[in-house]
Amino acid sequence: MLTFNAPPREDDRLNVVLIAHDGRKEEMAEWVAFNGGTLSACSLYATATTGRTVQRQLGIPINLLLSGPHGGDAQVGAMIAERRIDVIFFFWDPLTPQPHDVDVKMLLRLAVLHDIPIACNRRSADLLISSPLFSNVPYHRASREEPVLEPTTASRA
């Protein structure tokens, strides 16, 4: 039986990911500006282009990952599986084909599997960030102390 130990947390700040497809980056930057006070209490991560767009307009510190199509979505997926992410704001474009669509679906699937709150448009993002539970760090982390699925090894005869 394999066991999983979550990586240690550096502090009690929420780890929040920001991702936006090209047609939604400015909307994400506007939303982050509007919610800057709340988000400034979080550790922010973003795919490269989204993060640079937000940083350029707001000057807030963001941990930059790779660009989504170059592996950034996969990096976020890995961080979800390692239980390093608390909340995701992912403004994706459902009408524009994405060359990395498989990665987008993987990221959405992992967020649901690991019970990570994910907002995919501005209205759901507004509802999520305005919840009294948003800044409750123990609430976000308590449900993920144990692995969602335990890997098993098949015995060979």
| Higher pLDDT pick, 96 / 132 | 132
SS3 5: coil
Sorted by sequence, the CB contacts under 8 Å of residue 56 that are 6+ apart come out as none
For residue 107, CA distances in Å to 8, 59, 78, 85, 145 come to 22, 27, 9, 12, 20
Q: What is the pLDDT of residues 17-75, one digit of tens each?
A: 999 999 999 999 999 999 999 999 999 999 999 999 999 878 888 999 999 889 899 99
- Per-residue pLDDT tens digits for 71-129: 899 999 999 999 999 999 999 888 777 777 788 889 999 999 999 999 999 999 999 99
**How far is the CA of 151 from the CAs of 31, 114, 134, in angstroms?**
39, 14, 31
Query: What does the alpha-carbon distance between residue 81 and residue 2 come to, in Å, rounded to a whole number?
Result: 15
Query: For residue 41, which of 18, 13, 1 has the smallest C-alpha distance?
Result: 13
| Cα 142 from Cα 137, distance rounded (Å) | 9
Residue 56 tokens, joined: 């350029």
- State the pLDDT at residue 69: 86
List all residues 6 or more positions away from 8 whose beta carbon is below 8 Å from its beta carbon. Answer: none
Q: What is the pLDDT of residue 126?
A: 98
73 in catalytic set:
yes
- Which of 12, 73, 101, 103 does the annotation list as catalytic? 73
